[in-house]
Amino acid sequence: MSQTLGTTRPRVPAGLYVEVQAFYAYQLPLLEDRKVEEFALTFTEDGVYAHAKDGWELTGREQLVTEMRKALPHYGTSIFRHWFDKLVIEERPDGTVAVAFRSLVSVTDEQGQVTFEPSATIHDELVRRDGELLTRRRTVRHDIPDPARYWSAKLD
């Protein structure tokens, strides 16, 4: 999927817009609740989760589950939440749905202190399987020049 949507402002039916919002309202809390297997099921069997600036990709549900399980201990007992808005949705002739949105992750520790992860732009390619939306490809592009450096310092 290209990293930009079309040059004209996409107009999508209200029903599709609401369906996409409902999909993310279901998908993102699964990860927040550390339900990585259920989160992976919101991707196609061969779905890809990629970080554009770091150049890494996770391919397939099994790899997604394995790597998410490794990453979750970074948060310890803190609660993290995904905040997303500015959805731009484009229904493509082949039936795929391209979505771009802005995302921010807040992290609340046991003392109530709130911090934020670097903001990001997410580009998703959604497809339908048995009438349900699934993510075929997600590309995360953080709004900092060197995400690998930021994360490596946080994970030490």
pLDDT tens-place string over residues 16-45: 999 999 999 999 999 999 999 999 999 999
Q: Does residue 64 register a pLDDT over 60? A: yes
Q: Mean pLDDT of all residues in the chain?
A: 89
pLDDT for residue 74:
86
Find, among 40, 87, 85, 84, the residue nearest to 64 by Cα: 40
pTM exceeds 0.75 for this model: yes
Three-class SS of 55-75 = CEEEECHHHHHHHHHHHHHHH
Tokens (6 digits) for 31: 């990860």
Tokens (6 digits) for 143: 């709004």
DSSP structure class, residue 4:
S
| 127 in Cβ contact with 61 (< 8 Å) | no
- Residue 57 phi/psi, 5-degree rounding, is -135, 145
**Terminal-residue alpha carbon distance, the chain:** 33
Q: Does residue 148 register a pLDDT over 70? A: no
